[in-house]
Amino acid sequence: MLNYIIQGGNKLEGEVKVSGSKNASLPIIAASMLNGNQSKLYNVPTIHDIQIALKILKILGCKVKKTNNKILIDSSNITSYEIPYPLMRQMRSSVIMAGAIIGRFKNAIFSYPGGCDIGTRPIDLHLSGFRKLGINIIEEGGFIRCSCDKIIGTEIHLDFPSVGATENLMLASVYAEGETVITNAAMEPEIVDLQNFLNKMGAIVEGAGTNIIKIKGVNKLKEVSYTIMPDRIEAGTLLCSAAITGGTIELKNAIPDHISPILSKLEECGCKTEVKKDKISLIAPRKLISTEIKTLPYPGFPTDMQSIFGAMLTTAKGTSVIIETIFENRYKYTNELIRMGAKITIEGKMAIIKGVKRLSGAEVLATDLRGGAAMVIAGLQAKGKTKINNIEYILRGYENLDKKLNSIGANIKIEEGDKN
């Protein structure tokens, strides 16, 4: 097990380059199985979730070569349609591979991804969408077997604008007969990135970024090179790191439009922000001001930033209120913050955070990916030393977070923990 040791109290000041997006890379890596050819991907973050996704592609028969942030994938020789159970359990978003395998081979076997630290994470919307496309689904022994002779384009309405279901249905429809229309589709920027990638391969997809996406089936897709968009959640995390320390930061390779809900909340907290083409700068006040947050599907405030703001608001002036509407179990990190002296009460979907003068360093746990990031934010401000256990969660979704923060004044070390 690995831990972070953070000496808190330093003001962060400087420039950081944002890495490529984890949540855009994963569906695009899945989509690279569609063309039966080469896909060259640039700006892919070197993080654990990407390693798992590439491991699945290799097991299915793809040739994969990764050099730093560039990945070369050759999907001409896929020999299996079964996503290995242990990898499904390790990363629930591997369900996204199913849509691509079904889309190309009309066959796929995978298992229920299982819940994770932030909620049950059902896939009913994925499966009901597959059925509407004419895919037969047999669920037995925890496995889901999908098969059909052909995929027929149709209209699919999503009861909830699920990001994964939207992406999976796009992937399953690219070779369908006729047109598929997804209504109440998720509008996240990662879906626009997936549409751009698919169209560069020769697919005909339009409407991503709105709640109606149309996919016209084609017969062939070609090789492609593509650069992944920057990670908007990493950008928000870095801004909040500077904000809680009363510092300043300039982000390079960030897209302001992707994080407008985050920027407006940071301004409500008293920060000054400035945006240029692909740069975002922030100057924090000596003391942040409390605010109210309600997480919503894009373009609302992102649920992935909820815990990070929760940590940042522990030392803001006044009382903040957060309402989490997307996942049912995304407040586990608050118990760890309370160990550091935070004043937080949870009432159902609501977290009430009463600002305290300063947190004090303690030994805490990373409860999940974004909960772990929240503990880093808290440790940067806390008095004394904070030890964060289980940072493997954080390494799943952030590339070199400690190095990036140390480059602008933080004091974070990684240590080997006990082997359990």
* Contacting positions for ligand EPZ (CB under 6 A): 23, 26, 93, 119, 121-126, 160, 162-165, 186, 303-304, 326-327, 369-370, 397
Q: How many CB atoms lie within 10 A of CB 127?
A: 20
CB-nearer residue toward ligand EPZ: 26 or 33: 26
State the minimum distance, in angstroms, from the CB of residue 121 to ligand EPZ. Answer: 5
Catalytic, 269? Answer no
Which helix (H) or strand (E) covers residue 309, if one does? helix 306-312
Cβ closer to ligand EPZ: 180 or 248?
180
Query: Rounded to a whole number, what is the distance in angstroms from the first to the last CA of the chain?
Result: 7
Question: Could you tell me which residues come within 8 angstroms of residue 319 by beta carbon, excluding any fewer than 6 positions away?
Answer: 290, 352, 353, 354, 355
Residue 33 structure tokens = 């199985």
Nearer to ligand EPZ, 32 or 162 (CB): 162
CB of 14 to ligand EPZ, least distance (A): 25
Q: Within 13 A of 304's CA, how many CA atoms are on the CB side?
A: 20
Q: From the CB of 397, what's the least distance to ligand EPZ, in Å?
A: 5
Output the six-digit token pair for 121. 């994470």
Comparison of 119 and 409: residue with beta carbon closer to ligand EPZ? 119
Beta bridge partners of 343: 354
Cβ proximity to ligand EPZ, 56 vs 359, nearer residue? 56
CB of 178 to ligand EPZ, least distance (A): 24
Distance CA 233, CA 304 (A): 7
Q: Which residue number places its CB atom closest to ligand EPZ?
A: 164
CB of 297 to ligand EPZ, least distance (A): 7
Cα–Cα distance for residue pair 160/124, rounded to 1 Å: 11
Burial of 62 (0-12, 13-18, 19+ CB in 10 A): buried
Say which of 62, 116, 269, 271 is annotated catalytic: 116
Instruction: Give the active site residues.
Output: 116
